[in-house]
Structure 1
Amino acid sequence: MSQCSICLSNYKHPLCLPCGHIYCKTCLNDHVNSPGNPGLSAKCPDCRVTFHLVTPDLGHLPAKYHPFVVSPLRRVYINSNNGNQAALEKRVKELEQRLILKTAMEQSLMTRCEALSASLDAHRQGERDANERILDLEQEIFELEDAHNQHNQRIVELENIQQESLSETRKLKAKLAKSRAARDQSEREKRELEAELSLHGGVIDSSDYEQLAIPPPVRDRESRSSTHNILRIKEEPTSQTVGRLVPLSSPPAWVPATPSASASAPVRPTKPLPKRRREEAHTRMVENRDENPALFTRYKSKRARHGNFAPEGSIFQM
């Protein structure tokens, strides 16, 4: 409990001045009646603030001023129970401790809030970086899709070119097949001509060539390389017109041959024909007798004329 600043003892009938200082009633009366405070006012012993000692009579004042007229001194009632004081001090200590804990908790929360704020900033920065990366990837995807479309377009163009190439290849193969067929046909005609030439024992006259109506066959590779390198038949003026095969480089033509004493004699082939070739030529002449009856009649008469006395290797020797 506080003490009076004048008597330095516990308060006895304490009074409170307008300035807020509290004194004992006896101590305050002694101070007011001292020679230093003449008149109707006095000064506070501590702060020296002047306060009035009397109160005006309310009967001489209008009613509107009555609420503002108060006594300069007020009685103070102080509880002097020491148990309550100790409880209050304990309560104050608890509150101070709670205040300290609250301050520490606030500091911890502030620290954690700052850490979370820093983490949030880092997360936002990472999110911005991720968004930028997403934009870059989308741009890259767009470029890749564009390149893929161009690649597919190029593939389609190449497929079209391939189809055109395949079509050209098929056409060329067809032309090649036709050329080969024509070549094979020419080879077959050549072999037939050689067989027909061999049929006459290597001797052919002008009437036979007129019925065959074909140019003489090419005999060697060197003559085939030239365009007009074919065989020319030279005629000899005898009782029986006989032709002889001569290789020439000029276009085919009938050129009279020089007279020869042995024109009437049959000309033997330079190389005897095998029996199989003779049989094949005979079979072919028999099969084609309806197509060329005149040639078959001449072949038949020559075969009957030669008989068993045909030259060695001749078509008429069976």
Structure 2
Amino acid sequence: MSVSHTTNDQGASKYTETFWPPIRSALMSREVTFSDLELQCPICYTNMPIFSYPASDEKNDYGHGPIVYPCGHMFGRSCFVNNVTYNTNTGLDVSCPVCRGKFNYTKCKHPHYGFKMPRDMKGVEDFPTIVPQGGVVFELCHQCLIEATLKTAGEKLRADPGFPEDLRHCATVSITVNGQTYYSQDTKGELVDLEAPEGFKSYVAGLKAGLAFYEDSEILWMPGKRLQDMEIKCHNCPGLQSEEHE
């Protein structure tokens, strides 16, 4: 595939392709470097900064750095988020503004926000295959995956034969990932950390191994990275027991 070049105002040759596969190939072959990239957002026609946006993958980051949608087309993140928000609020399907491909998470049906373009060669090498070339969008978005994990973890804890019977109605599970903590149910009052029973520890180990397998996949478009590093804790929440007896 020929390399798309243009010359900027300073006379330097710049690579302007905004479809991920040829960008990846050009970077992998060292035909171009990151500093050669000058990518224009297909929505607003302004440049997408490569190195100035934050590293977070959360959808609430409204920088205009380039994101790659599962089809391979690339957009400024703020433009794409605005596009998703508008379509969602007006009852329209969320799709790629270029090819109109639809890539919602397959089970919860929430929209995929794409992945930020990698900024180092390790990220380029590990980036998942786009869907038209064999990639697969995961079942659940980040929030739904957390909620499903919390529900299952709470049920596993309370059903564990090694967990004290008198604590089952006031036990909760927390998941901390990317600096944010979620709980399996609404909590009231102070939480007291509990030692997890061995059966529950085995469940958590298996869960993390499964997430690591998925996250290391070359084809799977997961809702976020490093979920395998989540911290899962058990707590006693006396407020839950008090509420039940009211």
Query: Which protein, 1 or 2, shows the higher relative CO under an 8 Å CA cutoff with sep ≥ 6?
Result: 2
Mark yes or no: TM-score above 0.5. Answer: no
Higher strand share: 2
> Structure 2 length normalisation: TM-score?
0.25
TM-score (ref. length: structure 1): 0.20
Bigger Cα Rg: 1
